[in-house]
Amino acid sequence: MADDDRITGLPESVLVLILSFLPVHDAIKTEILSKRWQFLWTYLPSLRFSQDHATNEGFVAFVDKTLPLFNCSKLEKFGVDFDYQSRFAPNVNSWVRFAAGKGVEELCLDFYSVAAGFVSHELPQVLYTNASFRSLDFSLCRVTPKGNVAWNSLKKLSIGYVKLSNGVMEKILAGSPVLEVLELYGYGGFNRLDLSNNASVKRLILREFWGRYGPDSEHGDPEEDDEDGEHHYDSEEEEEEDDGEHDDFEEEEEDDGEHNDSGEEEDDGEHDDSEEEEEDDGEHDDAGEEEDDGEHDDPEQDEVDDGEYDEERLEISAPYLQSLEISCCIPRNCQLRDISSLVDATLDCDGSDDNNERIQDTLRGLVESLVHVKRLSLGAQATKVLVAMEAKGLSSRLLKCECVHTFLNKPDQPGITSIFKSSSNLETLLTEMSSTTNAESALLYRDCQGRPDHLASIQGLLDETLANLHHLSAEHRPQGVQLNEMQVLLTEIQAGQQQQYETMEQFLSSQKQYCEKLEHFISEYTQRFGPPPPQ
Amino acid sequence: MASSIENNNEKLTLKSSDGEEFLVEKHVALQSTLLQNMLDSDCSSADVIPLPKIDARTLALVLGYCKKHADASSSKQGELNSFDSEFLKDMDMGALFNLVLAANFMEIKGLLDIAAQKIADTIKDKPHQEVREIFHVENDYTPEEEAAVREENRWAFEGFP
């Protein structure tokens, strides 16, 4: 069949679908192709506006101008990512109302704030009651429902870079009866996360706790956001200007705990007012000079709670949860209660600036809670804690896991071998090591099927890490351990380059490809230098 | 894959536009909403189901996709993602169009999306003339009309600085 027949045969629904995978302005440009294409883009069922390199004003004007042209009666997705500033609040609200009016199912407001602070957008109250939403993604949006929340179809909720409160979390959970995935990043302000009435929630992701150390930014958009002069404000000058700007918070409404911040301690005096501000809570926290910690414990009463609000405390009850990720900065006092259904867990606080010492205890508690899960992934710090526990003979209680993925900072961490010994269910152990040496070095051990009680061979390794890795070899393998597959992978992981993997499977599959490359490398190595020395 | 084996309850036979027959396990066929609806109604699985718009080469690809997705458990999402990207990797535009049409006809949402995404990625950032060639679009605007369209949505063409 001739190509022409085929292409003219592409139904408009398919063409529109293809357009929907383009950035909106690229989709619009296809109107120039021919008359048939002129209005195709106006039927796009999902709209994603990205600022890219546009100026704020240009972008906002573009969205304003374009939205009324869409004919689609039902919108599947609506997304905006741009450099938000508070003067755009009315525009954003009108976009969001437009989307909600079209019955949008996936709404994504992915704001960032280039200017200086974490300026956040107060979501309009109308959003809190909506039966169409299936997926919500808010970054830098303040979630402060005045009434109840009713998100009866909501499956996935993601909220980032804003503080919440116990009351808000309760409202959200009570109002989201079919929620499956809850993701919070740059979170804080609440100390209870009780999912025991949300049997549908299967996956919980907590990244980057904002406790007393929020982002160290001030009130946002210093340069531009000055409808009224006093907003003009930027981080360098925060101290002096600070008070000035307090008075413009008109509405009070909820002092969700971030006030603490507003803080330079010099101004404590004036903090009492903090109860009345509200508007910009999001960004307060940050004020971030370390000196203020001193006074942090303070003003934020958590309405619902027992008056004593410890912002470093977080208690998670989630009897139905199957998958949990806690990463980056974690609350100092973080406890897992009733996570009996959990099968998959990731605990990784390596990316944070947290002082190792300070979080040891927290990590230990978390690791202990997690050893029953089937698949466990631990960052370097958590691995270290696990190894230390192992060394103290706590092993019998440890690791019922079938699959463990760990990171090591140093290749010679002997404890890792004894973890095998105490892990009778272990089928897969994946170890990544970061190395400061320029290690193209790689090591791959592979167990042979059918010879489960010892490693069949060491396929090769590079000299500089050879010595360090001997302890992982055959003679250290305990009898009877059912390791069907053990891969020890030494890779160079530059700090910060560590990828985040959504699931263990994703990680494993990416590593498999890597392993194939390694095997090639190793066989060449063996040819040149012969097999590694016997143990 | 063509086969003349007797159908049993677990399999059904699909026939491509060029007459080739494919014996397909039922759980694989269920990836297609079209087939699912047919099976749910009274359509007997013993019948040969003709797919007059889909040639054998395309149908073989489609069924390969369906089989992979039907057999993988839900926990294998990562693996499926890498399968998906490999699956379309070196496919030419003609094959992609056939695939997207087949997926549309057979109502296989996942395949439809990845094929459409792939086509979108290909045309993104290409000049109009090239996009016209890819889609075999004849420019039926007069120069004046074209200028008018361009003017109308100028901000999209020039970016929005």
State pLDDT tens for residues B106-127: 999 999 999 999 999 988 888 8
Q: Quote the percentage of chain A above a pLDDT of 90.
A: 30
Binary contact (B153, A508; C-beta < 8 A) = no
What is the rounded average pLDDT of the residues A323-331?
A: 90
pLDDT value for B83: 86
- The DSSP bridge pattern shows strands A428-433 and A445-446 to be unpaired
| Residue in A22, A36, A505 closest to B79 by CB | A505
* Confidence band of A369 (pLDDT split at 50, 70, 90): confident
Mean pLDDT value across residues A417-443:
50
pLDDT band at A512 (very low <50, low <70, confident <90, very high): low
pLDDT at residue B40, rounded to an integer: 82
A457-458 and A485-490: which strand pairing? Answer: unpaired
* pLDDT of residue A357 exceeding 80: no
- H/E/C letters for each residue in A508-529? HHHHHHHHHHHHHHHHHHHHHH
CA distance B17 to chain A (A): 11
CA distance A214 to chain B (A): 32
Q: Enumerate the residues of chain A whose CB falls inside 8 A of the CB of residue B116.
A: 14, 17-18, 20-21
Most A CBs within 10 Å: which of B135, B151, B158, as the mutation test of the A interface? B135
pLDDT band at A330 (very low <50, low <70, confident <90, very high): confident
| Longest CA pairwise span in chain B (Å) | 65
The mean-pLDDT minimum among A251-255, A320-324, A471-475, B4-8 falls in A471-475
Most confident of A50-54, A59-63, A147-151: A147-151
Which residue among B100, B125, B141 sits closest to A35, beta carbon to beta carbon?
B141
Residue A424 pLDDT exceeds 70: no
Q: What is the pLDDT of residue B76?
A: 67
For chain B, how far is it from start to end, CA to CA, in angstroms?
55
Whether the Cβ atoms of residue B84 and residue B103 lie closer than 8 Å to each other:
no
For chain A, the farthest-separated pair of C-alpha atoms sits apart, in whole angstroms, at 81
Q: Calculate mean pLDDT across residues A445-471.
A: 28
Q: Is A391 on the interface with B (CB under 8 A)?
A: no
Say if residue A157's pLDDT is above 90: yes
| Dihedral, CA of residue A213, residue A218, residue A220 and residue A223, to nearest 10 | -150
Q: Determine the Cα–Cα distance for residues A268 and A289; give it in Å rounded to an integer.
A: 14
| Chain B residues closer than 8 Å to A61 by CB | 155, 160
**pLDDT of the residue at A423:** 61
Taking the alpha carbons at both ends of chain A, their separation in whole angstroms is 66
- Residue A394: its pLDDT value, please? 62
Residue with tokens 């429902």: A145
**Contact across the interface for A21 and B116, Cβ inside 8 Å:** yes
pLDDT at A35 exceeding the cut of 60: yes
Q: Which of A3, A16, A29, A33 is the best residue to mutate to test the B interface, defined by the most B CB atoms within 10 Å of its own CB?
A: A33
Q: Under an 8 A CB cutoff, do B136 and A54 touch?
A: no
Work out the pLDDT band at A533, boundaries 50, 70, 90. very low
pLDDT of residue A54: 82
Examine the pLDDT at A251 and tell me if it is beyond 50.
Answer: no
Q: How many residues are there in chain B?
A: 161
Selection from A65-69, A203-207, A252-256 with the highest mean pLDDT: A203-207
Q: What does the pLDDT average to over A330-355? A: 83
- Stronger pLDDT, A49 or A422, i.e. the higher one: A49
Q: Rounded to an integer, what distance in angstroms lies between the CA atom of residue A342 and that of residue A173?
A: 19
Average model confidence (pLDDT) across chain A: 67
At A410 the pLDDT is 56
Note whether B117 contacts A21, CB cutoff 8 Å: yes
Higher pLDDT, A427 or A197: A197
pLDDT at A44: 92
Q: What percent of chain A has pLDDT over 70?
A: 51
Q: What is the pLDDT of residue A409?
A: 58
| Phi and psi, residue A81, nearest 5° | -125, 125
A482 in B contact zone (CB under 8 Å):
no
More confident call, A496 vs B86? B86
How far is it, in rounded angstroms, from Cα A462 to Cα A472? 15
Q: Residue A382: pLDDT band by 50, 70, 90 thresholds?
A: confident
Mean pLDDT of A26-38: 90
Instruction: Show the DSSP H helices in A157-277 as ranges.
Output: 166-174, 238-246
Q: A328 or A524, which is more confident?
A: A328
User: Chain B contacts of A501, Cβ < 8 Å?
Assistant: 78
Instruction: Look at B46 and A140; give whichever has higher pLDDT.
Output: A140
CB contacts of A514 in chain B (<8 Å) are none
Q: Span A173-195, mean pLDDT?
A: 95
Q: What is the pLDDT of residues A55-66, one digit of tens each?
A: 888 899 989 988
Instruction: Give the pLDDT confidence score for residue A271 in this predicted structure.
Output: 41
pLDDT higher than 80, residue A235: no
Residue A353: what pLDDT?
57
HSE, CB side, 13 Å, CA atoms: give it for residue A80: 26
pLDDT at A396 over 80: no
Long-range contacts of A496-505 (CB under 8 A, 24+ apart): A496/A351, A498/A350, A498/A351, A498/A407, A500/A327, A501/A377, A501/B78, A502/B77, A502/B78, A503/A323, A503/A344, A503/B75, A503/B77, A503/B78, A504/A344, A504/A375, A504/A377, A504/A403, A504/A405, A505/B75, A505/B76, A505/B77, A505/B78, A505/B79
Distance of CA A127 to CAs A143, A155, A169, A181, B50, Å?
Answer: 10, 15, 16, 19, 47
Q: Which two tokens stand for residue A425?
A: 């269910």
For A99-114, how does the pLDDT look when each residue is reduced to its tens digit (9 = 90+)?
A: 999 999 999 999 988 7
pLDDT surpassing 90 at residue A71: no
Reported as a pLDDT band with limits 50, 70 and 90, residue A462 is very low
- pLDDT at A231 (0 to 100): 35
pLDDT band per the 50, 70, 90 thresholds, residue A326: very high
User: Residue for token digits 């039926």?
Assistant: B140
CA distance A488 to A432: 7
Q: How far, in Å, CA of A232 to CA of A126, rounded? A: 30
What would the mean pLDDT of A470-496 be, rounded to a whole number? 32
pLDDT score recorded for residue A272: 40
Task: Return d(Cα A286, Cα A45) in angstroms, integer.
Answer: 39
Residues of chain B below pLDDT 70: 1-9, 42-46, 73-76, 155-161
